[in-house]
Structure 1
Amino acid sequence: MSGKIKVLLIEDSGLMRLIISDILRTDKDIEIVDTAENGKDGVEKTLKHTPDVVVTDLVMPYYDGVYAVKHIMKQKPTPIVVLSSLGKADPIVFDALKEGAVDFIDKPKEKVISNIRDVNHVLIEAVKAAQKANVMALPKQDKTITHVHTFDTQLNYDVIAMGASTGGPGAVEKVIDKLPANLSIPVVIAQHMPERFLESFAKRLDILTPLKVKLAEKGELLTGGTVYIVPGNSNTKVGRDAFTGKITFSFTKREFREFNYPSVDCLFLSIAETYASKAIGVILTGMGKDGTEGMKAIYEAGGYTIAQDEASSVVYGMPKSALESGVIKKSVPIYDISSFIIGCL
């Protein structure tokens, strides 16, 4: 055994197969075992080679990426990273995630790539994160969605802050779907995701819940019963307005060498500073350590800290890091997190 991460690439464009293969081969830990030109070919070669990770384009003639994801996950569950064309927020990305893809990233351009270093890093790190994914932990979609959760207890907390990365969209859906219809405090979510997809993500969540779901805006007041998705092209903070004393959103520029946006730590640190013991922090599935510093701040301020457990995490990186830092009060399966939050309110 070579010990390398075996990757199968599904891409209909010969030029893009060459570009993506060359990017992946720059990492000594990755090996391209084969390529395929469409979804059907990709399924057959997945069964033949048993790769560690499948990287697939979405839009292809005859059999597309969603077909590939659906049939691979049915016949040979494998971590799958979806590539989506730059400049277009493909709504079928979320169909691919629903069928079992663990992550998606922007597809490199065929023309000269000015930010080639960033593209290389994101693609390679996505493959490495996917290789560690627990595909059996991917949240299954409920066939029937109902909203019957309500509560009448005195609120002990004033905000719920959530952070997620790889595997996060499905996990976030599971939590938000079951929050009570009469929730009177705001929910703020930092999900690592390309900026252009966040509005579609917010709209998708808005369909699942009677709560209002929207993208956070600069200077906007945090309002109860609203779920805010923070932007992906900047880091987000909350704070009290110097004149009104109301809590509003502000944004900071992306800093050099940061690759994960929006920063969970940046959001959580401001949540801790602003809400102190009145905050609930929730760290969900994802690779790396983003969120650990912020969860520590919430914990030390007297807030309540919850981490998704290992068994239900697609990638047990961010929750594990926070747990091992000793700043998590409760580790909970994804299906129980919303109920546990309700119990805290």
Structure 2
Amino acid sequence: MDPIKVLVVDDTILYRKVVGDVIASIPGAEVCGTAANGRFALTKIKTFKPDLITLDIEMPEMNGLELLEELRKTGMKLPRIIMLSTLTTTGGDMTIRALELGAFDFITKPQSGTAAENVEKIRTRLTPAVTALIQEKKFRSRLSNARATLARTATPREAKPKPAATPASPSHRRITRPVSRASEVVTIGISTGGPNALAAMLPKLPADIGVPVLIVQHMPPVFTKSLAASLNTKCAIEVKEAEDGDLLKPGLALIAPGGKQMRVEAHRDGIHRMVRITNDPPENSCRPSADYLFRSVADHYVGRATGIIMTGMGQDGFKGLQKMHENGAVILAQDEASCTVYGMPKAPTEAGITDKVVPLSDMARALMGTLK
């Protein structure tokens, strides 16, 4: 398979050099060109047809958001785009907007440290996203080749009607494990591709959903607050970044703050539940971590919870979902076809602990079905 072609767009020579060197060091990737702003990038996108663009947000003449908007106007299929963002409120708001416009992922630019340390930070943040894209291209190439081989070798035969999907198929698996009662809380673990997936799913939930929703989206500080604010404008339920001591209330979605862990605890009144925001260590290199949240939900809502695992890299959430499963929770997973990156849902699905595997378009309906 040919290497993926990457266009590096940034208004500073330093970042073009650093990002370009990091890309060149990743097996299966190569830099096909660079551009100092969005206007120059438009021409180079048409010339080089890159598979991936690393895109700075703040640039003169045409910034990253303006470039994304211009690309959408053309109607062309967007290449995968990774934004380079500053760790500020403005940078967070602009990044969320970029993800809504079709960006694949984002990394934050280092704010301090030596030149060597900053290069390593960019390498650590950028490499997993690029590697995921390379693996996806390999998978699609193998799938295409397999289909072509099958088409060449298949023996023509009389067409038969397709059998109806059976309950045993992964995408239509029914809940067979005994569950105590309808779920009283919904908890979601999500990462790469998450902002767009949440923006597609959460607005479908009714204001009178009747349960709280707890979300771990892998993001750094500041960005989770911007994400919550953006989702809140789109949803019938209330969405906010969680604060320590927030009570779990029906129709309230709490997003774990970036750089912190979030767990569920009993309130001192012995009736309600609340969230605790802590500085406990990262798990699976993640803070917030879905495993950390899921374990606490498993303990406090035995047989009365819904756990949802969605698009994202890695396996964060798998061990927590295992505990929820053992304690009688209903487990839903996003299917591979609708995931931006099929990482987080893969292990729970293959381990057989998911009760239902559904496309993103059906996730809200499947969620509501666990509350009855």
Note the C-alpha offset of 1:271. 1.0
Secondary structure in structure 2 of the residue aligned to 1:208: coil
Deviations along 1:162-204, whole A, 9 cap, x unmatched?
1111111011122210111112210000001121111111111
**Is the counterpart of residue 204 in structure 1 residue 205 in structure 2?**
no
Matched positions, count: 324
Secondary structure in structure 2 of the residue aligned to 1:276: coil
**Is the counterpart of residue 20 in structure 1 residue 19 in structure 2?**
yes
Q: Structure 1: how far apart are the matches of 2:329 and 2:76?
A: 44
Question: Is the Cα contact below 8 Å between 2:187 and 2:306 reproduced in 1?
Answer: yes
Paired residue type of 2:7: L
**Is the counterpart of residue 127 in structure 1 residue 126 in structure 2?**
no
Aligned twin of 1:97 = 99
Deviations along 1:232-280, whole A, 9 cap, x unmatched?
1122111224663532212343536853331111111111121121010
Question: Is the Cα contact below 8 Å between 2:189 and 2:217 reproduced in 1?
Answer: yes
Question: Is the Cα contact below 8 Å between 1:310 and 1:316 reproduced in 2?
Answer: yes
Aligned twin of 1:84 = 85
Question: Is the Cα contact below 8 Å between 2:89 and 2:226 reproduced in 1?
Answer: no
- The one of 333, 341, 350 equivalent to 1:307 is 333
CA 197–46 in structure 1, closer or farther in 2 if over 3 Å, else same: same
Percent identical among aligned pairs is 36
Q: Structure 1: how far apart are the matches of 2:349 and 2:284?
A: 23
Aligned twin of 1:262 = 288
Paired residue type of 1:102: F
Q: Structure 1: how far apart are the matches of 2:68 and 2:192?
A: 16
**Is the counterpart of residue 294 in structure 1 residue 295 in structure 2?**
no
Deviations along 1:205-229, whole A, 9 cap, x unmatched?
1111221211112222211111000
Q: Structure 2: how far apart are the matches of 1:235 and 1:28?
A: 34
Aligned twin of 2:59 = 60
CA 261–51 in structure 1, closer or farther in 2 if over 3 Å, else same: farther
Question: Is the Cα contact below 8 Å between 1:80 and 1:130 reproduced in 2?
Answer: no
Question: Is the Cα contact below 8 Å between 2:265 and 2:273 reproduced in 1?
Answer: yes
Secondary structure in structure 2 of the residue aligned to 1:15: helix
The two structures have a TM-score, normalised by structure 2, of 0.80
The two structures have a TM-score, normalised by structure 1, of 0.86
Q: Structure 2: how far apart are the matches of 1:123 and 1:259?
A: 15
CA 319–257 in structure 1, closer or farther in 2 if over 3 Å, else same: closer
Note the C-alpha offset of 1:120. 2.3
Secondary structure in structure 2 of the residue aligned to 1:311: helix
CA 221–289 in structure 1, closer or farther in 2 if over 3 Å, else same: same
Q: Structure 2: how far apart are the matches of 1:252 and 1:301?
A: 24
Q: Pairwise mapping of residues 125-204 of structure 1 onto structure 2 (< 5 A)?
A: 125-131=128-134, 156-204=182-230
Paired residue type of 1:231: P
Question: Is the Cα contact below 8 Å between 1:102 and 1:130 reproduced in 2?
Answer: no
Q: Which runs of 5 or more residues in structure 1 are unaligned? A: 135-154
Q: Pairwise mapping of residues 332-343 of structure 1 onto structure 2 (< 5 A)?
A: 332-343=358-369
Aligned twin of 1:238 = 264
Deviations along 1:279-305, whole A, 9 cap, x unmatched?
101111111111111222211111111
